[in-house]
Structure 1
């Protein structure tokens, strides 16, 4: 019996050719360069980025995970397309792209958890929606951007610390007049300026933690800000009072914290 080598089927040859072409170094480098030129976040699919539930995020993660152990021009081009898609559909608000000199704002409803235990889901959701609506409207109106909701508060970022202070104060004032049966909503706010690391649509790092700790030390309707924020403010535009004996786990020992109130609100 004579055995002859059969030629490899055409579809297998084609698959190997396309795979080899897809992994060619110059094509992969060109696709990566294109991603850097496309508007938007150039790291869609980053596993450290929070899941927003958007279909574009799910697609980005699938592309990023597909064959992550080998270079692929097709994957890079796919991620570039998702990046452009997200940039085109991102909601309004100015989110700083640089990670230097960003003011981080955290807010929180005082006493909310105790009230929510007995209020019922319908009333809780009604209040949270009202708070979220006024917060986002005010934050974006002051050229900031809401990064994420935190249940009964938000995290937001601003390029301008003065706008951040005004937004924080106005949000506290607006929330205090929202009606909720059996509960008087009072928001507290904390601000810190630093160099957080941007990961996808989120920001991470020590400076983010410091802002959250400052917020936790505030009283209802109070805006607290670190020295890094206060030193950038127009002294004629705000009233500043030192917060004595401020101590919070996970913050620098020399951290200076102040109560800030825009002067226009005191007239």
Structure 2
């Protein structure tokens, strides 16, 4: 009598998983399933921009969409379509929640960056640099969102954000500096600086352009580590008694010569 072929339980599990993977792969590329997933994306709210491989999208959701598209570029995939649908819905929901402003409305522009980051990065290596930037961006994004602002773009070791309310912008700038100062990567503690200016920049899609944007960037460049600088236009739109203010000497190319800038610290009750 021929003995029965007995396979180990572990081998049976492996075979079952491989079979399931082959089935999922076939379904993922079945024309009818791909068409259904693509139709779902077409009727979903929002619309993803076409991102060329050479483009440099600034929104985190656009970067995710590009990675999904590149990962499934070889052939149609239902999972790719569903992934892009999820990102599209994410953007649509975020656009509805975020404060918006037309070119005729005032917004307060925030710029941040890390003091001395380039020197440290040269010696630290890519892994430590990426670890630090992820933590800094996460901390900054959380504060901006919680204070009713919107991150416009990430700028390497910094961020550009906009706020409808100047007081929210000042609070966010200060809290971002504090949050980043608590980060440590292999003994290195980063120092964030911030600059604020209120004006009427031109809005181009999700970005903002114009003189007011340049002024905010120059103000940030003049700040020291852990310091928040704000122009008088930002403070004029808030209650001055809520802040400790110290006037700073300020001169910068591209900024008005009569621009008044203050170092600002909120008075917390």
Q: TM-score, normalising length from structure 1? A: 0.67
Structure 1 residue matching 2:240: 3-state secondary structure = coil
- How does 1:65-214 map onto structure 2 within 5 Å? 88-90=92-94, 94-99=98-103, 100-214=105-219
Per-residue CA deviations over 1:164-195 (Å, capped at 9, x if unaligned) read 00000000011001012242210000000000
Is 1:263 the counterpart of 2:267? The answer is yes
Change in 2 beyond 3 A, CA 1:54/1:183 = closer
Shift of 1:87: 5.4
Q: Does structure 2 retain, via aligned residues, the 8 Å contact 1:142–1:163?
A: yes
Match 1:252 to one of 252, 256, 267: 256
The more displaced of 111-120 and 176-185 is 176-185
Alpha-carbon offset, residue 94 of structure 1: 2.2
**Residue deviations 1:1-45, cap 9 Å, x none?**
xxxxxxxxxxxxxxxxxxxxxxxxxxxxxxxxxxxxxx989xx78
Is the CA contact (8 Å cut-off) linking 1:196 and 1:207 kept in structure 2? yes
Task: Say if 1:91 and 1:124 are closer, same or farther in 2 by CA, change over 3 A.
Answer: farther
**Aligned-partner SS, 1:106:** strand
Q: CA RMSD in A?
A: 3.1
CA contact (8 A) 2:231 2:259 kept: yes
SS in 2 for 1:185: coil
Equivalent-residue separation in structure 2 for 1:235 and 1:105 (angstroms)? 18
1:229-255 deviations in Å (ceiling 9; x for gaps): 0111212211111112x1000001111
Q: CA 1:194–1:40 in 2, change beyond 3 Å: closer, same or farther?
A: farther
State whether structure 2 residue 235 is matched by structure 1 residue 230.
yes
**Equivalent residue pairs, number:** 201
Could you list the runs of 5+ residues in structure 2 that have no partner in the other structure?
A: 1-44, 70-87
Instruction: Report how far residue 115 of structure 1 moved.
Output: 0.3
Mapped contact 1:96–1:157 kept (Cα < 8 A):
no
Where is the helix percentage greater, Structure 1 or Structure 2? 2
For the residues of structure 2 that align with 1:126 and 1:54, how far apart are their CA atoms? 18
Q: In 1, distance between residues paired with 2:245 and 2:178?
A: 18
